[in-house]
Structure 1
Amino acid sequence: MRPASPVLSFIAAVGAATALLFSTAASAAPSCEVDRPVRFSGLNWESNLVLAGIERFIVEHGYGCKTAVEIGETLAMLAALQRGDVDITPEVWPGQIEVAWDKAIKSGRVQGVGHVFDAGEGWYIPRYTQERHPELKSAADLARFSELFTDPEEPSKGRIYGCPAGWSCDILNTNLFKALKLEEKYTMFAPGSGAAQKAAIVSAYKRKRDIVFYYWTPTALVGSLDLVKLELPPFDAAAYTCLTDPNCADPVATEFKSNRAVTGMNTDFARAAPQLTEFFTKLTVPGPVIDDTLGWLETEQAEPEEAALYFLRKYPEVWKKWVPEDVATRVQAKL
């Protein structure tokens, strides 16, 4: 057999290199499964906004998609998810909006995937308040301590800082407030926004003033302050379901339900984008990791998008489990 011509060998080598180059370029420039921006729900609390930032970065740089965010409240965004006006809600707490979520799932237009993290809720007081009044241990005990939490707008009553106006947890807190028969002793105050709620809590805490308030976890605030969660009766599923219903006729006090947060997806979008659906299904964040990320957000007074980059740079061992190797390589290259 005659040896190959040096010229032919060179041409073959160039051809192989060119094929490899085109193959690499194709891998580096993925084609999005949908021909429009992927639309995310921008719910107005820290963990959701940070998650949206993480997910958008991966979807844009790993999967080659454009993205957009629609800002709104929980129930409004759930309705938008059913209509297909948004595709993804990064953080859904099914237990908090039990009736509305079940209805959405049964409609077939929405699905919940993955296990983002475990979330919780409660009524809190600062530890210094309980040290001053050690007999104040449960939410029911509040009836005897209204003078500690004087409402500046209605001084004859105490004030409980509930959910910000328009949030879905307002129904839950209002029904629990009624179930505990605190209406004659307290007002359930709805701050104008999550930022106003947080500012009121931090201001009181810094001044060592007594305050009682609703809050949720994981959040930077609960992690950064020394708080005591007030006791409630053991969890009762039927009682809790009624607490989440705005038409609950006879609310009964029960512990808040531990929430397995999931990713909400529009069903039509999920069918059209199986690769993205697999990504969202695998997405899960360990508790200490989300606590650290939100703590960094609080300490640095950063924006959610900056906290998303902090997470992606610090915890590649977490997010790389969510995506194929080629997607992870493209995302890493942008960090």
Structure 2
Amino acid sequence: MKKILFLCLLIICTIALTLPVEGATATPIPPIKIHTGDWDSIKLTNAIAKYILEFGYGYEIRIHPTPEKTLSDDLSSGEVDVSFEVWKENHPATLERKINTGEIIDLGSIYSHASQYFIIPKWVAESHNISRLEQMKDYWYFFKDPENHHMGLFYPGLISWFVHDTNIEKLKAYGLTPFFNSITMPSGRSYEASFMKAAMNNQTIFGHYWSPSTVMGLDYWTILKEPELFEECSYNASSLNETSLLLCPFKDARVHKLVHPGLIGSAPDIISFIEKFSPGTKEISEILAYGYLHSIDDYDNLAQLYLKKYPDKWKNWIPSDKIEKISTSLNQNGEMVSK
């Protein structure tokens, strides 16, 4: 009888220990930290991913501004969990080495047709038969520096971008430095506004841009062909030193999604989504241009417009139960912006 009583007490105690204590909560899932940079396409792709991860998967998302020049260290250390838009050619070989050693995980390309290049207005190019970058030394006066009318003005990107340094080096290598001053802009939005203002007012401008982007959503530009500086130039960053990489002509860009290895353990259910996430260069450019022309500055708003306009794209990235949650949320939000 005593043995039976003892066993009963043991079972009761065991059950009591396994029951949740009133007021206790489960261990909170840490928020996912998404890297953002100061350019338009990454802000929109981040907003699209954020909406899907919050409303479809239930994660808390924090957008983490990180200078592009520290991104490699921030990803490998876990300061950020994921960057959805890393332009690998613009980074030194250190980034590729960290991917090769497993300090950063590469989950593949986000765009199949991303590009970066040097552009001028189409009407200038066509009226003077300008198609190659080296021709710009003969036409600098169409792009005069308002502070120095004896020089042209060149837009190389923001000083916080690796590509800014690349473009300054290219200007020297292509023999254009004696003809052009370079301008430093305070933000990605002001950089974008300079090109959009030129397009809206039929003005001239010369500089670096990329696709997808707000600017390249307009049919106003001619892309200038770069000279081949070195026959052996390659985009295999691990085999190049930091300097020679800068002198490679821009090719079709490798824009990839990179994550900190810890994300695979802490949020394994979203890895498949990140691998499949591919919003499209044309679609992103169209939404960005629409937002600019209609004075929509809220990227979360533009993300909802994207999700409503292109359901056939994002529904291929996630399971059916997540699709239902996101669709319900979009319907509840109503018409945020006109299509």
Q: TM-score, normalised by structure 1?
A: 0.82
Among 116, 123, 128, the alignment partner of 1:121 is: 116
Q: Which residue of 1 aligns with 2:308?
A: 313
Contact 1:47 1:294 in 2 (8 A): yes
Unpaired runs of 5+ in structure 1? 1-31
The CA distance in 1 between the partners of 2:186 and 2:237, in whole Å, is 22
1:333 is matched with which residue: 317, 320, 328?
A: 328
Partner Cα distance (1:292, 1:154) in 2: 36
The change in CA–CA distance for 1:106 and 1:222 in structure 2 (over 3 A counts) is same
Instruction: Please name the residue that 1:278 is paired with.
Output: 272
In the TM superposition, residue 142 of structure 1 has moved relative to its aligned partner by: 1.0
Distance 1:237 1:47 in 2: 32
Q: Cα 1:191–1:59, aligned 2, differ >3 Å: closer, same or farther?
A: same
Give the match for residue 79 of structure 2.
85
CA distance in 1, matches of 2:245, 2:45: 37
Aligned pair count reads 302
Matched, 1:171 2:146: no
* Aligned mates of 1:93, 1:250 — CA distance in 2: 13
SS in structure 2 of the partner of residue 216 of structure 1: strand
Identity fraction in percent: 22
Q: What pairs with 1:109-188 in structure 2 (closer than 5 Å)?
A: 109-117=103-111, 118-134=113-129, 136-188=130-182
2-structure distance, mates of 1:64, 1:242: 38
Cα deviations by residue, 1:157-193 (Å, 9 ceiling, x for unpaired): 2111111221121122112111101122211222222
Matched position secondary structure for 1:228: strand
| RMSD, matched Cα | 2.7
CA contact (8 A) 1:162 1:189 kept: yes
**Structure 1 letter corresponding to 2:154:** I
Residue 73 (str. 1) matches residue 44 (str. 2): no
TM-superposed CA distance for 1:108, in Å, is: 1.7
Counterpart residue identity of residue 54, structure 2: E
2:46 is equivalent to residue 52 of structure 1: yes
Distance 1:33 1:55 in 2: 24
TM-score by length of 2: 0.81
Specify whether residues 33 and 49 from structure 1 end up closer, same or farther in structure 2 by C-alpha distance, changes over 3 A only.
farther
Structure 1 residues 181-226: Cα deviation after superposition (integer angstroms, max 9, x where no partner): 1122211222222222222223333443332111111112112141
- Mapped contact 1:177–1:188 kept (Cα < 8 A): no
Specify the code of the residue in structure 1 equivalent to 2:86. Answer: V
Runs of 4+ residues over 4 Å off in structure 1:
234-238, 240-247, 249-252
Among 243, 263, 266, the alignment partner of 1:269 is 263
SS in 2 for 1:125: strand
More moved, 138-147 vs 73-82: 73-82
- State whether residues 114 and 281 of structure 2, in contact with CA within 8 Å, keep that contact through their aligned partners in structure 1: no
* Structure 2 unaligned spans of 5+: 1-25, 331-339
Write the letter of the residue equivalent to 1:199: A
Secondary structure of the structure 2 residue equivalent to 1:233: coil
